Amino acid sequence: MTAKILNGAAVAQQIKQRVATRVAELAERNLKPGLAVVIVGSDPASQVYVGSKVKTCEALGLYSEKHTLPEETTTEQLLALVEQLNQRDEIDGILVQSPPPAHINERRIIEAIDPAKDVDGFHKINAGLLMQGSSEALIPCTPAGVIEMLDHYQIPIAGANAVVIGRSDIVGKPMAMLLLHRHATVTICHSRTKNLPEVTRRADIVIAAIGRKAMITGDYIGEGAVVVDVGMNSASTEEEVRHIFPDEEIPKRLEALQKRGSTLVGDVEPRSVVERASYLTPVPGGVGPLTIAMLMQNTVKAAERRRLL
């Protein structure tokens, strides 16, 4: 068996087209959804992510603002900006790029965002609504995108044995809740799970979100399982590239290594997993594009609820 590659970029494009259509409909009612993105410091990766979000807003017809604050910004100063954005009616979504500098109290920032504008879905009110299965929840973008992709490819969720590897508030926990609400039998695994490969081999669906480069090998995967790789890591040596990737991918990965000094790799080792899984998401081009698409969808959803209901 050789896994079929799930094209997250193509699914994301369909979601964005849906969002653009709705934005055009809202424009006829003189409503333009607005997203404010806040970044503290000059981390290059975070700058790229923020830039992508702003560009996507522009492409889909949403209003966007980018607030870039210096590295030395304090928690209190950031809280003051968040409160200003909470009060502005034309701003429907507020996103503070994570992670902020270490001296910032990120939990305080998240809880200061108006839950109705919490388009990341990290506020405790949205987390509680998700737990209840409420349609009012703004759902974290990455897990919501994974569900969209499974639905797009008509991969059965109801009745499936699903294993989520990772228990973060951003991906692991909300992912488990979404699968549970869709009638999957869900197991959450983490760094202290005993006999992890034995647990994951029983799964019909494996969601890898543990943050460890190429940790999930073919030994972890049962024949025919669907494998979704949420990880985003880097391989920086030729030896790693040849060990992690299938032969047909190695030339382009080595080219990326020469140009940039590294190439992206997820939590899954595709070289061995592709021979056991029925479906596999690539890195990049899998879950990543869906996250931004779902952010746009959340912003439109927030605008509709705040200004139309």
Active site positions, annotated: 53, 97, 120
CA distances from 204 to 94, 148, 220, 271, 277 (A): 36, 17, 12, 20, 9
Measured from the Cβ of residue 72, the count of other Cβ atoms closer than 10 Å reads: 10
Amino acid at 277: A
Strand segments (E) across the chain: 4-5, 34-40, 63-69, 93-96, 161-165, 185-189, 205-208, 226-229, 233-235, 263-265, 279-280
| 8 Å CB contact between 126 and 305 | no
Residue 171: which of 184, 197, 190 has the closest Cα? 190
Strands 233-235 and 263-265: antiparallel
Q: Cα angle vertex 240, ends 237, 246, to 5°?
A: 125
Please tell me the distance from the alpha carbon of residue 91 to that of residue 208, in angstroms, as a whole number: 34
